[in-house]
Structure 1
Amino acid sequence: MIGLKGILKKKYSTYSLIVYRRGCGLVWWLILLLIIFMGCSTKKETVQKPTVTETEHIVKKGENLEVILNNILSHQSTIEIINVLTSADFPFRKCFPGDSIKILKENGDFLKLTYSQNLTFKYYIFKNDDYLFVAMKYPYIDTVTCFLKGEVNSTLYESLLKTGETPVLVFRYADIFAWEIDFVTETQNGDSFSIFFEKTFCDSNFVEYLNIIATTYKGNIGEYHGIYYCDQDGNEDYYNLKGESLRKSLLKSPLRFSYISSYFSKRRFHPILKVWRPHHGLDYAAPTGTPVSSIGHGTVTYKGWRGGYGNLVEIRHKNNFKTRYGHLSRFAKGLYKGKKIKMGELIGYVGSTGLSTGPHLHFELHRNGVSINPLKVKIPRAPSVKKKYLSDFEQHRDSLLKYIEQLSQPVGEEISKE
């Protein structure tokens, strides 16, 4: 059974206004509450009824604001709008696909622009005689603390999506336990999970996830806890109940969600060559194009075609570890021999190049030049909670666990608001 409880924590809203005089570039900053829908013309005398038209453009991938405006307005109007938005610190590099731009024109001349960005920020530009006014709206943002619990049925990925949350939360949850649990091989139906997390809303529309505060996973493989904690020195991480970091120098898998179609073996019948020979790695079955990530920090020592491996990436890590990723359909953009790679960084995509019967990733782990079984290797942990902060961590842990225990009771409606 899956349950969800929420606690409404905070909301805020404010506006900023900038006045820009056309032709002289003089800018005044005024911080005030603004009534957005103001009249844009003070002229009382009209010869004929003005023609007002509205054009809406949805930002597409690769587009920027200046190009979009030039396609709708005159070059002079575009320059004036860009100038005033520059004064307002408008984030030009953060124009995302799906953002909305609405432009009102009166008798063909610019009158008003509304830019809606990511359901959160809105920018308004008004024309009044020789002046342009730009207002930035910071809308109400509700931060809700939620508790989610459920059981695995089929896969963890599918089970979490059935709760109504997005893949972003699923991946963040999996990332916390990525050093402890291989969600490809170690999960079973009936295993249970819980997540205590924050997410934000704007006008009842979901915006983004914030922190995962605490989380658990229970099954035949054991019971795992992830407690978020930040000490007074600013060190933050996810820890188990003992205060040991969940992070290790290498991840347990280069893919988040898949399954192993062939295991590490000293003697395996090769499906193409029809001979018995060692299989010094794991084969992860996944659709062509599935992202492949490096399991640890390191340096690319090989990128290219290598016989039966097909497209291969080889990475050297600390402590004499080396990893190989074979049969890739293509490499990540910007990847090259000698490049420094971070843990979890994209290096390529699943394919079926080389000696392969179908789309999968062939993954190998070597230590001191010898291939080893990735499922059995023990990897050292990152630093634990410092001894001087251990008592504080334990108090934080205990209060969280007590609160989560209360939330784990039968599901009700929203439990409190502030």
Structure 2
Amino acid sequence: MPMQVRTPLIFTIVCVAVFAIAIFLVGYSNGSVIKDNEDPFLITLESVKEIEPLPARDRYGFEKGIYEFEEHEIKKNESLYIILRRYDISPQQIYQIQQESKGVANLNRMVPGQRYRVYFKDNQPVSFVWHQELTRYITVDWQNEYRVGTGEIPIRFVTKEASGIIRSSLYETIVAQGHSPYLGSELAGVFAWQVDFFALRSGDHFKVIYEERYAGDEFVGIGDVKAAEFQHRGETHQAFFLNHEERRGYFDEDGNSLEKELLKAPFRYSQRVSSGFSRNRFHPILKRNRPHYGTDYAAPTGTPILAVGEGIVTEAQRRGGNGNIVQIRHSGSYRTAYLHMNGFAPGIRKGVKVEQGQVIGYVGQTGLATGPHLCYRMYVNDRPINSVSADLPASESLEESLMPDFQRVVDRYRSLLDALNFNEKVAGLEENINSERASL
């Protein structure tokens, strides 16, 4: 029986052979075979060309060397129209820009003090960048087509350290060392429940490791306080920050929460105590002795007053000698009252819920008051107590399941705190410590 030949297979073999012979003959063209190192498709060190770097751009994406800019602040009664007309942008162009901005940004809400840039190319204005906030901005471009977009400057975190001995006030000590005054506010917030910042003494001292926030090279605020120590009246308090998806806050080295249900005082910044709690005090207006069931804080008119804890407003009105008064019922048996206020914060009325630290009003001298101050009162089971010396209820401590993570935080930052001294000038930590932030 004759053998059957598979035609497709034979055809494939023949094609491959012809292709191989052709390559061989081409290799012999000009009398020589192409060597491996002469292969035009082979990449070698000699044939590699260096990739040209991308042109440098500024924080808004404009190429340096091609664009120039002017930077200004928005003044009172200025608008986009007034600003752009100053640069000879026609009313028709401004109208087109406003049409393109619909659904993207409201260009009619410019506020005095906000910053803006006008970019130039070949001495012609081509783009406008308006900062709504420190890190958020609007870009308006008209050089090729009308475009309106939004952007945000990435925040860079730099870890710093500070320490000092208080001679006059916490804030003066911090500012004298070249640190932001906002650090004092943050530090006071960490130890608001442990330290009486209205009665600091010369010789009290602190150590703190914290973050500063930068948009590019511009300082935009204080970030998290990572760890801190404060010695007040001979007693040392330490705080370690845990940033966990299940729990976030400040704790002592044993995992006890530093937060209390109620703040020590209803102010963000230190205010002078002008009169304390007393069962028998001479009233400067009534000219007779009577109980003073509160603590008076002398402060400038308009100073924000904070709710010392979460609760429900039970009173917000003007009432006789108390002047403008707010009362808040907190959880458990606590109630607080704020007297002689200049006015109430927006939305503060009977029945609304307020959060701890929320502004509820402003210092004034309404009612029987000889000067601007706040009379702050605290009650337990409707009985007045001295808020300055009260032992306030604490929040819950850390769950056992979170203690291993927290212990790693304590071990890392306790050694850094111990290494700090109390020199009047304090240097910052190296920026490579920032790697710790990602690992915590």
Cα shift at 1:59: 2.7
Q: Is the 8 A contact 2:328 2:336 kept in 1?
A: yes
Q: 1:329-351: per-residue Cα shift (whole Å, max 9, x none)?
A: 22212322222111111111111
Return the structure number with greater helix share.
2
- Determine the structure 1 residue equivalent to 2:378: 365
CA distance in 2, matches of 1:270, 1:304: 23
- Determine the structure 1 residue equivalent to 2:168: 154
1:98 aligns with 2:113: yes
Structure 2 residue corresponding to 1:292, chosen from 291, 305, 308: 305
Distance 1:142 1:345, change over 3 A: closer
CA distance in 2, matches of 1:16, 1:201: 12
The one-letter amino acid paired with 1:188 is: R
| Runs of at least 5 residues in structure 2 that lack an aligned partner in the other structure | 1-55, 433-440
* Residue correspondence of structure 1 range 265-280 to structure 2 within 5 A: 265-280=278-293
1:81 aligns with 2:100: no
Q: Is the 8 A contact 1:118 1:207 kept in 2?
A: no
- Determine the structure 2 residue equivalent to 1:112: 127
1:253 aligns with 2:265: yes
Structure 1 residue corresponding to 2:350, chosen from 326, 337, 356: 337
Q: Which moved more, 1:327-336 or 1:238-247?
A: 327-336
Query: When the two structures are superposed, what TM-score results if normalisation uses the length of structure 2?
Result: 0.73
CA distance in 1, matches of 2:77, 2:399: 46
Cα shift at 1:97: 4.5
Distance 1:95 1:161, change over 3 A: farther
- Determine the structure 2 residue equivalent to 1:180: 194
Distance 1:79 1:283, change over 3 A: same
Q: 1:146-191: per-residue Cα shift (whole Å, max 9, x none)?
A: 0000011112232222222333222111111112222113x11110
- Determine the structure 2 residue equivalent to 1:29: none
Q: Which has the higher contact order (CA 8 A, sep 6+)?
A: 1
* Residue correspondence of structure 1 range 115-154 to structure 2 within 5 A: 115=130, 120=135, 124-129=139-144, 131-132=145-146, 142-154=156-168
- Determine the structure 1 residue equivalent to 2:327: 314
- Determine the structure 2 residue equivalent to 1:208: 221
Structure 2 counterpart SS, 1:329: strand
Greater Rg over alpha carbons, structure: 2
- Determine the structure 2 residue equivalent to 1:380: 393
Counting matched residue pairs gives 372
Cα shift at 1:111: 3.5
Q: 1:339-378: per-residue Cα shift (whole Å, max 9, x none)?
A: 2111111111111221112221111111222111112322
Structure 2 counterpart SS, 1:395: helix
- Determine the structure 2 residue equivalent to 1:404: 417
Structure 2 counterpart SS, 1:227: strand
CA distance in 2, matches of 1:367, 1:171: 29
Distance 1:189 1:413, change over 3 A: closer
Q: Is the 8 A contact 2:282 2:288 kept in 1?
A: yes
1:197 aligns with 2:210: yes
Cα shift at 1:116: 5.1
Structure 1 counterpart SS, 2:172: helix
1:238 aligns with 2:253: no
Q: Is the 8 A contact 2:339 2:375 kept in 1?
A: yes
The one-letter amino acid paired with 1:35 is: E
CA distance in 1, matches of 2:76, 2:259: 35
Q: Percent identity over the alignment?
A: 32
1:35 aligns with 2:63: yes
CA distance in 1, matches of 2:170, 2:203: 10
Q: Is the 8 A contact 2:127 2:143 kept in 1?
A: no
Structure 1 counterpart SS, 2:158: strand
Q: Is the 8 A contact 1:228 1:238 kept in 2?
A: yes
The one-letter amino acid paired with 1:201 is: Y
Cα shift at 1:226: 1.3
The one-letter amino acid paired with 2:201 is: Q
| Runs of at least 5 residues in structure 1 that lack an aligned partner in the other structure | 1-12, 18-32, 41-53
Cα shift at 1:265: 1.3
CA distance in 1, matches of 2:193, 2:109: 33
The one-letter amino acid paired with 2:63 is: I
Q: Is the 8 A contact 1:66 1:82 kept in 2?
A: no
Cα shift at 1:323: 0.9
- Determine the structure 2 residue equivalent to 1:163: 177
The one-letter amino acid paired with 1:333 is: P
Q: Is the 8 A contact 2:138 2:149 kept in 1?
A: yes
Q: 1:394-414: per-residue Cα shift (whole Å, max 9, x none)?
A: 232022111232344977866
Distance 1:34 1:277, change over 3 A: closer
Cα shift at 1:200: 2.8
CA distance in 2, matches of 1:16, 1:91: 22
Distance 1:56 1:212, change over 3 A: closer
Distance 1:136 1:294, change over 3 A: closer
CA distance in 1, matches of 2:390, 2:212: 36
